């Protein structure tokens, strides 16, 4: 899709990127960057949470069993 076909929607209103001011286009680029960074960090957090669960399970297995 080319820039003249791209749209951005804010507060329920769609705007064609090609018709935006240079400042508005820069803010769209900033939002795209931040959204990508948020997605990357969410993926990293998912990896860390998975590792934490594995370490917790390993600790549980390493602890002495309670007397029953």
Model pLDDT for residues 22-41, shown as the tens digit of each residue: 999 999 999 999 999 999 99
Q: What is the pLDDT of residue 68?
A: 52
Q: Where are the alpha helices (DSSP H) in the chain?
A: 22-62
What is the pTM for the complete model shown? 0.75
Confidence of residue 67 (pLDDT cuts 50, 70, 90): low
Residue 38 — φ and ψ, nearest 5°?
-60, -45
Are 19 and 29 in contact, with CB atoms under 8 Å apart? no
**3-class state of residue 52 by DSSP:** helix
């Amino acid at each position: 899709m080319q820039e003249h076909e791209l749209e951005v929607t804010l507060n329920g209103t769609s705007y064609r990127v090609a018709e935006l001011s240079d400042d508005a286009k820069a803010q769209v680029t900033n939002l795209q960057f931040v959204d990508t960074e948020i997605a990357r960090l969410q993926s990293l957090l998912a990896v860390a949470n998975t590792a934490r669960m594995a370490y917790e399970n390993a600790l549980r297995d390493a602890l002495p069993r309670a007397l029953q």
